[in-house]
């Protein structure tokens, strides 16, 4: 992949990941409705949620670059103690890392961002029962989410507020059953002619049976039918998910690094 292509995929992933973050904030199953703010200072995009000031995901700065160094202290003033710098490799310059280190930020995690151009419908397995979430199954799907979180308490008010997000045309959610039981789930977020695969989860008793791979093939097959030009995702390096993504044709676009305070 040449340099121009690398920059193209980085820019596209940054855009769609931001849109997905906004959707995630809106659909969140939380007691107090999230109030995610998104605004720009210089080349930096600031995400801030004062309803959950301890969340590194919803209190992030994206796009911070050397040209933003003079405004660094101003950027920091918009946050309390929790802040994550979501750093892409094009902005990881020595002067940036030194400035973050001087303010006690350290790199704590990396994610691999990947891309594929779906063009051939995947060969799907008939071993599993896979369905997309509809208005009629949305509450059941929320129960699956509750189970995946170890029985988190989800109130009727939270369900009423978030239910419609799980069957929106631009946010397709999938339920995979084995013998009628909840086995795995995942989503496909659509933005224009591009998509983002996210929220993969397999329940413990069904891990190692190919559930995630089946869901990936289903979503990529649907992406072809929907006419998507590119599909993106993110995984932990070297994880099972990383291997599964490569099996269905995903390639690495770049690694980003999350910097948070010690």
CATH number of the domain to which 167 belongs: 3.40.630.30
**Mean pLDDT, residues 86-91 taken together:** 97
207 plus 139 within the same structural domain: yes
Please check the confidence at residue 152 and state whether its pLDDT lies above 90. Answer: no
Mark whether 103 and 166 lie in a shared domain.
no
| pLDDT for residue 95 is more than 80 | yes
Q: Is residue 53 part of a domain?
A: yes
Task: Indicate the burial class of 32 (C-beta count within 10 angstroms; 0-12, 13-18, 19 or more).
Answer: exposed
- Answer yes or no: do 104 and 164 share one domain: no
Q: Classify 54 as helix, strand or coil.
A: coil
| 91 and 159 fall within a common domain | no
The predicted structure's pLDDT at residue 113:
98
The parent domain of residue 97 ranges over 3-114
The predicted-structure confidence for 183-208, as pLDDT tens digits, reads as follows 999 999 999 999 999 999 999 999 99
How far is the C-alpha of 157 from the C-alpha of 144, rounded, in Å?
A: 17
In a domain, 145, yes or no: yes
How high is the pLDDT of residue 163?
A: 97
Q: Is 41's pLDDT higher than 80?
A: yes
Number of folded domains that form the chain = 2
Residues 133 and 224 in one domain: yes
| Structural domain includes residue 147 | yes
Distance CA 221, CA 142 (A): 25
Percent of the chain surpassing pLDDT 90: 91
């Amino acid at each position: 992949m040449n340099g121009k292509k690398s920059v193209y995929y980085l820019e596209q992933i940054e855009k769609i990941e931001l849109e997905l973050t906004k959707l995630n904030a809106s659909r969140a199953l939380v007691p107090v409705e999230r109030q995610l703010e998104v605004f720009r200072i210089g080349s930096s995009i600031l995400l801030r949620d004062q309803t959950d000031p301890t969340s590194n995901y919803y209190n992030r700065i994206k796009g911070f670059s050397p040209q933003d160094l003079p405004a660094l202290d101003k950027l920091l003033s918009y946050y309390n103690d929790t802040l994550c710098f979501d750093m892409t490799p094009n902005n990881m310059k020595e002067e940036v890392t030194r400035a973050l280190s001087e303010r006690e930020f350290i790199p704590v995690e990396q994610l691999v961002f990947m891309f594929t151009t779906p063009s051939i419908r995947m060969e799907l397995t008939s071993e599993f029962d896979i369905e997309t979430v509809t208005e009629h199954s949305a509450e059941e799907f929320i129960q699956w989410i509750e189970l995946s979180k170890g029985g988190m308490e989800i109130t009727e008010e939270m369900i009423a507020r978030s239910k419609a997000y799980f069957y929106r045309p631009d946010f397709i959610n999938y339920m995979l059953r084995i013998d009628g039981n909840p086995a795995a789930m995942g989503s496909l977020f659509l933005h224009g002619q591009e998509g983002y695969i996210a929220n993969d989860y397999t329940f413990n008793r069904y891990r190692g049976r190919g559930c995630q791979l089946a869901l990936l093939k289903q979503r990529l097959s649907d992406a072809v039918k929907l006419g998507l030009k590119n599909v993106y995702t993110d995984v932990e390096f070297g994880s099972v998910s990383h291997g599964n993504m490569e099996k269905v044709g995903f390639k690495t676009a770049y690694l980003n690094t999350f910097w948070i305070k010690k």
